[in-house]
Amino acid sequence: MKIRESDRVLIAGILLLALVFRLPHLNFLLPFFEYGDEGDVVGAAWRILQTGDPNPHFFWYGSFPIYWTTLLYGLVLGARCLSPALGINWVTGGIGTVGECIKGFGIYDQGLLLFYLGRVTSIAFGLGTIYLTYLLGRRLFGRRTGSLAALFLAISPFHIFFSQVFKVDISLLFWIFLTCYFSLNIYERGDLQDFVWAGVCGGLALSTKYNFFVFLPVLFAVGLKTGWRGWFSKKFLFCGYVAAVVFFLTCPYSVLDFAAFRDQLGAQMGQNQQHLIQFRTDPSSFFYRRFFYQVFILFPFFFGPLIYPAAALGLVLFSRKDWRKALIFIAFPVGYFVFSGSVSQLAMPQYQLPYFPFIVILGAEALRFFLAGPTRLRLAGGLLLGLSLVFFLSDLKIPHFQGQFQVYREAGEWINQEIPKDKKVATYFGTYHSTRHFGFRNELVIRRAADFSLAGLEKYDPDFLAVAESSLFQEERFIKSFQGYREVIQAVSRGEKYRLVRSFRPAGAWEAWAGIVYPEMKGFRISVYKKEY
């Protein structure tokens, strides 16, 4: 389908708007500490560059993001080593070979280059997903729906947020949506190249983050086109073969180092009961905590209280138009929801990202239906559109400035200014982001949960403690992991050995918002305690 010149200008303007919203906060939480899992991917890529060992030794996520960031870092750092004439910041200090030069740089050298490069690639994947949203919305419903859907995704606060931090979720979303695009090609045409491209994109999605539901659209497309016998056709089997080969080529040590891969994946899936992420099959969890809670609380907050229900109308309209394509389109989000909404304990914002493009396309189609109708419907559609835009734009600052990370920054800056350099400030560097380290100059990072206990503090003998407190540590599934941490907080709260000198809390609006969307953050604060001598 050829895109008209006016439409090209429109989508270019939407992409430019998306870029404007995403660029200003590339330094978010830097240089003090990275966001969430950024350090894991950067650290694995950096170890490959430093040691030459291609095994990432990190399998919480697929290896594909690690390898392409390693290649990107290698090219940029190699250019810096070989081209000192490009600028004063690129001078290598007389280091000889490229390999020696790379080993001479640290992860946090030169303005946190690695994190910035990773965040730029996240923006690129985010913009790519917006463009795919336009293409798919235009293909299914027309140019107005495609343009409106792309606009909604461009100004969606959480898509903006995750497009400018270096997490694998935003690139995963790109591959998922591209796989869905080629799945519709399979249904409409069934050419071999469509099967190949669906296999390639599905394999890359799988080697980015282990989300097997990415293949549901392909499965539905083949089944609805040729019946169940199509699942045994040469083209479909070849698609699976291509996906397997792509996965192996981009995540080879899932096979070559299978023991480590199995152990880490098993821990992530909750087989290790000491780990944070656990999976349940309790029916009551489905009907309240993971079904009612997500559908009626999480989704309206993340997608908008108006666009989200409008998407339900859009699905009805789509089903009346072509129910087979509608099934292919919703195969992934429905399958993913049944899993994440029923058996997992995951309710964090990044786990809602895979729904975003599907929601905004269906919601945009409902709005188009209103705006193309009689006068009363057009008025209702205009009001719905205006209120939706107000929701997105008014919500933009919540993820960045009103959350717990701003509290970390404030606490870190206060500690750097008020506590002498010769005093040790202990904090626990946990596997959960609410206990990540601050990055202040006299920080004593305790990396093992077992060491951040009353006995451990006797060993380290810090002068100050900086601890995160919230209802998170009262959650049943976290008690075992944070038992020592909870004991320390309870002891210092009673005034044992340490007294409270300062407490930092988020803005009231964010605290109220987080209490609804993310109940584990209720009562969140950073407390600084001083040792009583």
The yes-or-no verdict on residue 294 having pLDDT over 90 is no
Using the 8-state DSSP alphabet, how is residue 170 labeled? H
- The token duo for 344 is 């997992």
Torsions phi, psi of 60, nearest 5? -65, -35
Beta bridge partners of 468: 526
Q: What is the pLDDT, as a whole number, of residue 280?
A: 45
Using the 8-state DSSP alphabet, how is residue 344 labeled? B
Looking at 18-22, 127-131, 151-155, 406-410, which range is the least confident one? 406-410
Helix, strand or coil, per DSSP, at residue 113: helix
- The token duo for 174 is 């790109």
Alpha carbon distance 328, 324 (integer Å): 6
Using the 8-state DSSP alphabet, how is residue 21 labeled? H
Alpha carbon distance 406, 35 (integer Å): 12
Alpha carbon distance 297, 276 (integer Å): 23
Residue pair 437/392 in contact (Cβ under 8 Å)? The answer is: no
Strands 443-446 vs 425-428: parallel, antiparallel or unpaired: parallel
Element at 359 (helix H, strand E): helix 356-371
The yes-or-no verdict on residue 83 having pLDDT over 60 is no
The answer to whether the pTM exceeds 0.75 is: yes
Q: In what order do the strands lie in the sheet with 498-504?
A: 443-446, 425-428, 464-469, 525-531, 498-504
Alpha carbon distance 355, 333 (integer Å): 6
Q: What is the pLDDT, as a whole number, of residue 415?
A: 83
Q: What is the pLDDT, as a whole number, of residue 124?
A: 94
Q: What is the pLDDT, as a whole number, of residue 330?
A: 93
For residues 294 and 178, the model is more confident at 178
Separate counts of helices (H) and strands (E) for the chain: 25, 5
Alpha carbon distance 78, 119 (integer Å): 20
Residues 6+ apart with CB under 8 A from 182: 194, 197, 198, 201, 218
Q: What is the pLDDT, as a whole number, of residue 409?
A: 76
Would you place residue 271 in the very low, low, confident or very high pLDDT band (cuts 50, 70, 90)?
A: very low
Amino acid 184 reads: L
Alpha carbon distance 44, 59 (integer Å): 10
Establish whether the linkage from the previous residue to 420 is cis, with ω within 30° of 0.
no
Residues 6+ apart with CB under 8 A from 185: 191, 194, 197, 198
Beta bridge partners of 466: 528
- The token duo for 185 is 């090609």
Q: Give the relative orientation of helices 234-250 and 192-206 as an angle to the nearest 10 degrees.
A: 30
* Residue percentage of the chain with pLDDT more than 70: 74
Would you place residue 185 in the very low, low, confident or very high pLDDT band (cuts 50, 70, 90)?
A: very high
* Residue percentage of the chain with pLDDT more than 90: 28
Q: Calculate the CA dihedral of residues 448, 450, 451, 454 and round it to 10 degrees.
A: 150
